[in-house]
Amino acid sequence: MTTKYKNVYIEDVATVVGPYEAKGPLGKRFDKKYTDMYFGKDSLESAEVKLMTDSIDLVLKKTKKEKSDVDVFIAGDLQNQITASCYAARELSRPFLGIYSACATNTEGLIIASNLIESKTCDKVLVSVSSHNMVSEKQFRNPTEYGAPKPGTATFTATGGASCLLSDSKGKVRIESSTIGIPVDMEQTDPLHMGSVMAPAAAETISKHLSDLDRTIDDYDLILTGDLGQFGKEILKDYLLKEYNIDLKNKYNDCGVMLYDLKEQKDVQAGGSGPVCSALVVYSDIIKKLEKKELKRVLYVATGALFNPTMVFQKENILSIAHAISLESVE
């Protein structure tokens, strides 16, 4: 489903990251950086809550808004029962919608928020996401201190919190349209190769978006996928061309590849992942370029593997989904 918006603007964004992300190529552009993984909290789970609340506080401070100015707070993360979001919502104490689309959560939130603003239900909607590398490792894989060896296709959950305040008052960047994706099953079962799981979902959403709006790749300056990683990125290019006859040319990049220096930071393997991965790249880099009009229109396709360890152990396939939003710099 593709929707066009006339009146949805990004008021401001805020990013908070852990030490690994701070060392990456975008390191200097994040608003707040931590040098450890606990951020003064006792447990990793509480540390993730702090990432999100920090990013909320920062975006409110930047926009000179009070908590009470937020009409609705939409948030999601990777923890079971989206714990980090719920506890961050406790701090904010505003009407709260908790959402989950794995690593596509950020665009899901932005789409819901855009619809609330376009329909004039709300004036200001706050969308937040977070993820924490060690929380994800503990929940989805092995204990963090175990350090189980992984293949080169594995991705590295980014540690960070990111918030975006959407508003109906005119700003420099607007959300111009969105496409809600369909869950895709290509019979992929390897949880250590999420790029192969998610690439078909990204392809499906990109082609749907273009056909619904009767556009081509040339109508965009950049197509940005969430966190396919370096191998998923190549799969997507190939698959889009073969299956949908869409050539991404040189207008395509992947946030998972952009967040880290893949040559220097070997631990990230194929690249970054997690709901916050694409949010960190888009908020720290892409939005700034749109504000300066270096980019005119960007299609941001966050990709999520709807991965449940229990279902994988029960020999079910891993599903994936991708939601897209088109960001445009305002004249």
For other proteins, which stretch binds (CB under 8 A), given 99-107, 118-126, 230-238, 276-284?
Answer: 230-238
The answer to whether residue 288 forms part of the interface with other proteins (CB under 8 A) is no
What is the torsional sign of CA 261, 263, 269, 270? positive
Among residues 218 and 267, whose Cβ is nearest to other proteins?
A: 267
Nearer to other proteins, 66 or 149 (CB): 149
The minimum distance between CB 235 and other proteins, in angstroms, equals 5
CB closer to other proteins out of 38 and 96 = 38
List 6, 147, 263, 314, residue binding other proteins (CB under 8 A): 147
Q: In terms of DSSP bridges, do strands 160-167 and 124-131 run parallel, antiparallel, or are they unpaired? A: antiparallel
Q: Is 183 in the site for other proteins (CB under 8 A)?
A: no
The dihedral sign for the CA sequence 223, 25, 100, 127: negative
Cα–Cα distance for residue pair 188/199, rounded to 1 Å: 11
Shortest Cβ 189–other proteins spacing (Å): 10
Concatenated DSSP letters of 204-271: HHHHHHHHHTT--GGG-SEEEESS-HHHHHHHHHHHHHHHH----TT-EEEHHHHHS-TTT-GGGTT-
Closer residue to other proteins in complex, CB, 139/211: 139
Biggest CA–CA distance in the chain, Å, is 52
Q: Is 81 in the site for other proteins (CB under 8 A)?
A: no
Closest CB to other proteins among residues 63, 144: 144
Q: Is 79 in the site for other proteins (CB under 8 A)?
A: no
* CA atoms of 44 and 258, how far apart (whole Å): 25
Nearest to 270 by CA among 234, 237, 305: 234
Distance CA 245, CA 50 (A): 44
- Helix pair angle (44-62, 83-92), 10° resolution: 40
CA atoms within 13 A on the CB side of 318: 24
Decide: is 253 part of the binding site for other proteins (CB under 8 A).
no
Tell me: does residue 200 bind other proteins (CB under 8 A): yes
Q: Which of 36, 42, 66, 218 binds other proteins (CB under 8 A)?
A: 42
The whole-angstrom separation of Cα 314 and Cα 309 is 9
Using the contact rule CB under 8 A, the part of the chain among 5-13, 19-27, 136-144, 321-329 near other proteins is 136-144
State yes or no: residue 238 binds other proteins (CB under 8 A). yes
Whichever of 19 and 151 has its CB closer to other proteins, that residue is 151
Interacting residues toward other proteins by CB under 8 A: 42-43, 138, 142-149, 151-153, 186-188, 193, 196, 200, 231, 234-235, 238-239, 242-243
